[in-house]
Amino acid sequence: MSRAIASDYRPPRWLRNAHVQSVLAGSLPRRRKGMAALAAAGARTQQLIVDGGNGVRLIGLHTALPGVEPRGMALLLHGWEGSAESAYVCLAAAGFLARGYDVFRLNFRDHGDSHHLNPDIFHSARIDEVVHAALDVAARMPRPRLVVAGHSLGGNFALRLALRAPAAGLPLDAVAAVCPVLDPARTMEAMERGMPLYMYHFERSWRRSLLRKRELFPDRVGFDDAVLRLRMRELTEWLVLRHTDFGSLDGYFDRYSIAGDRLAGLTVPVSILTSADDPVIPVEGFHQLVLPARARLELAQWGGHCGFIEGPGLGGYAERWVAAQLAGGD
Predicted confidence (pLDDT) per residue in 138-148, tens digit: 999 999 999 99
Kindly state whether residue 155 falls inside one of the protein's structural domains.
Answer: yes
CATH of the domain at 22: 3.40.50.1820
Kindly state whether residue 273 falls inside one of the protein's structural domains.
Answer: yes
Q: What is the CA radius of gyration of the chain?
A: 19
- Domain span holding position 278: 5-181+259-327
Mean per-residue pLDDT of the chain: 95
Q: Are 251 and 123 in contact (CB under 8 A)?
A: no
Amino acid at 209: S
Angle between helices 184-193 and 249-256 (to 10 degrees): 110
Question: How would you class 179 by CB atoms within 10 Å of its CB: exposed for 0-12, middle for 13-18, buried for 19 or more?
Answer: buried
Q: Which pLDDT does position 328 carry in this prediction?
A: 84
Kindly state whether residue 207 falls inside one of the protein's structural domains.
Answer: no
Q: Which pLDDT does position 121 carry in this prediction?
A: 95
What is the residue-wise DSSP string for 160-203? HHHHHHHHHT----EEEEES----HHHHHHHHHHS-HHHHHHHH
H or E element: which one contains 45?
A: strand 44-53
Least confident of 16-20, 194-198, 269-273: 194-198
User: What domain count does the chain have?
Assistant: 1
Q: Which of 282, 250, 317 is closest to 10 using CA atoms?
A: 317
Kindly state whether residue 118 falls inside one of the protein's structural domains.
Answer: yes
What is the residue-wise DSSP string for 281-325? S-THHHHT----TT-EEEEESS-TTTT-B-STT--BHHHHHHHHH
Q: Are 26 and 309 in contact (CB under 8 A)?
A: no
pLDDT digits 0-9 by tens, 5-31:
999 999 999 999 999 999 999 999 999
Kindly state whether residue 116 falls inside one of the protein's structural domains.
Answer: yes
